[in-house]
Amino acid sequence: MISVPMEWKERFDLRRFFSGEKAVDGPIRLTHRRVFIVPNRRGFGLALLLAIQFLAAVNYSNNLAFILTFLLAGIAMQSTLYAFRNLAGLSVRRGKAPPVFAGEPARFELHLDNPSGIHRLGLGARLAGSATTIRFDVAPGATATLVLHAETGKRGWLPLPTVTFDTCFPLGLFRAWSPINLRQRALVYPRPAPAGIEPPVIPELSAGTRPSHGEEEDFYGFAGYRPGDPLKRIHWKGVAKGQGVHVKQYAGGETAELALDWQYTPGADIEARLSRLCRWVLDAEAAGTPYSLRLPGIAIPRGLGETHRARCLEALALFGP
């Protein structure tokens, strides 16, 4: 709904018709400035029909033929207003865009608010570069939540491509459309490498600091909670008693702890090594083995769980200059 005064040069930029205006945080209200309308092929077909009817009417001096021709022209004119109105006044908000692995389609959620009393029918939404258009209606006063899928190529931030809303309602003679750019992005993790290569066991420098007495799988004490610690180890009773959040520490069994290090990762190039690290992170999560990650300039201490995983994968996704 931000309306920054527009420069004349930008206003007449043809690109605006197809790729929309500069990306903004939103919400974006579809106004006359953003909704365009032209006849489609069927509309030109009707124009041809009307021309033929007009000639027939002239030839036979037939006033009813004139009347029907003019009536159809009036209906076509009316349909442009209906098509425009079907889009105008809607407002678009961005929704969630969860991270995905490279190669998987990215999911962008959009919320489309209809603050008016008009039932918006036969709307379509399509991401630039995508072949499929989602068709949907929005009831008066309702909000439609759309999920649009974008192809992902390489890791890193994927900005939301231009979203084009369109409609041919009511008669299919004119297409009204509105391309919008919302400042939204999805994080694309590296593509996980195929399984097969096991991570090398690296002598961890801090290993000595850990208490090693006691039996395997023995509980030996509490430690302060750090983000990334598995939820199942949180000492919930203590939390309930108001003693703060502590994590139960065990010794022994899970000695197979992992230190994932860029330096010791095989791979032909940067991307291959990142893919390999990505696979190891996923494997370690699946196995429930705590792991640490070390990249040039980044060191993420040992941990396990959703948050830890997300932190590691984000580091991998955004690694590099």
Partner 1 sequence: MTHPPLPPELLRRNLPLLCAALALVVTPHAADLPLDIPGFVWLACGWRLAALDRKAPIPSRISLLLLTLAGAGLVYLHFHKFYGREGGTALFLVGLGLKLLEMRSLRDLYLVVYLALFVAVTEYLFSQSIPIAVYTLGVVTLLMSCLIGLNGGESLSLAGRLRLGAKMVMQAIPVMVVLFLLLPRIAGPLWKLPEDEPAGKTGLSDSMEPGEISRLGLSRETAFRVDFEGALPPPRERYWRGPVFWRFDGRRWTAGYDEPLPARQPPQTAGATYRYAVTLEPHRRRWVFPLETVETFPAELTRAEDGFLLAAEPVRERRRYVLSSRPAATFDTLSEGERRRALQIPGMPDERVRDLVNGWLLENPSAEAMAHRALRHFREEPFIYSLRPPAIAGDPVAGFLFDTRRGFCEHYAGAFVYLMRVAGIPARVVTGYQGGHWNPVGHFLEVAQADAHAWAEIWIDGNGWTRFDPTAAVAPERIERELEFAAGADGAVVFASPVAQAWGDRLSSLRGLMRDAGLMWDAVDHAWVQWVLAYGPENQGRFLERLGVVDWNRLVYWLTGLLGLLALISFALLWPRSRPVADPALRLYLRVAGKLERQGLVRAPAEGMRDFAARVAHTRPDLAEPFGRFTALFLAIRYGGTAQAAALERLKALGRDIPSR
**Among the residue ranges 83-91, 151-159, 222-230, 289-297, the one whose residues contact partner 1 (CB under 8 A):** 83-91
Rounded CA separation 254/10 (Å):
62
Q: What character string, x for contact with partner 1 (CB under 8 A) and - otherwise, covers 93-112?
A: x-------------------
# residues near partner 1 by CB under 8 A = 64
Within 3-22, the residues that bind partner 1 by CB under 8 A are 3
Contact 250, 217 (CB under 8 A): yes
Q: Which is nearer to partner 1, 4 or 286 (CB)?
A: 4
Strands 174-180 and 36-39: antiparallel
Rounded CA separation 221/219 (Å):
6
Within 217-256, the residues that bind partner 1 by CB under 8 A are none
Rounded CA separation 189/203 (Å):
28
Rounded CA separation 175/170 (Å):
10
Q: Which is nearer to partner 1, 3 or 243 (CB)?
A: 3
Q: Which is nearer to partner 1, 1 or 201 (CB)?
A: 1
| Nearest-approach distance from CB 3 to partner 1, in angstroms | 6
Q: Which is nearer to partner 1, 53 or 275 (CB)?
A: 53
Is 136 a binder of partner 1 (CB under 8 A)? yes
Within 155-214, the residues that bind partner 1 by CB under 8 A are 167-173
| Nearest-approach distance from CB 48 to partner 1, in angstroms | 8
**Among the residue ranges 119-127, 154-162, 231-239, 301-309, the one whose residues contact partner 1 (CB under 8 A):** 119-127
Within 35-74, the residues that bind partner 1 by CB under 8 A are 41-42, 45-46, 49, 52-53, 55-74
Measured in whole angstroms, how far is the alpha carbon of residue 144 from the centre of its chain? 16
Under DSSP, the state recorded for 132 is: -
H/E stretch holding 86 reads: helix 63-87
Is 145 a binder of partner 1 (CB under 8 A)? no
| Nearest-approach distance from CB 140 to partner 1, in angstroms | 8
**Among the residue ranges 87-95, 180-188, 299-307, 313-321, the one whose residues contact partner 1 (CB under 8 A):** 87-95
Using the structure block, give the residue that is written with the tokens 């395997």: 216
Contact 280, 266 (CB under 8 A): no
| Amino acid making up residue 162 | T
Answer for which of 6, 23, 37, 118 binds partner 1 (CB under 8 A) is 118
Strands 91-94 and 106-113: antiparallel
Instruction: Calculate the alpha carbon distances from 248 to 36, 223, 238, 242, 274 in Å.
Output: 62, 7, 10, 16, 32
Contact 143, 111 (CB under 8 A): yes
**Among the residue ranges 77-85, 185-193, 215-223, 269-277, the one whose residues contact partner 1 (CB under 8 A):** 77-85
Under DSSP, the state recorded for 129 is: T
Residue 4 burial (CB count, 10 A) = 8
Q: Which residues bind partner 1 (CB under 8 A)?
A: 1-3, 25-27, 41-42, 45-46, 49, 52-53, 55-75, 77-79, 81-82, 85, 88-89, 93, 115-119, 121-123, 135-137, 139-141, 167-173
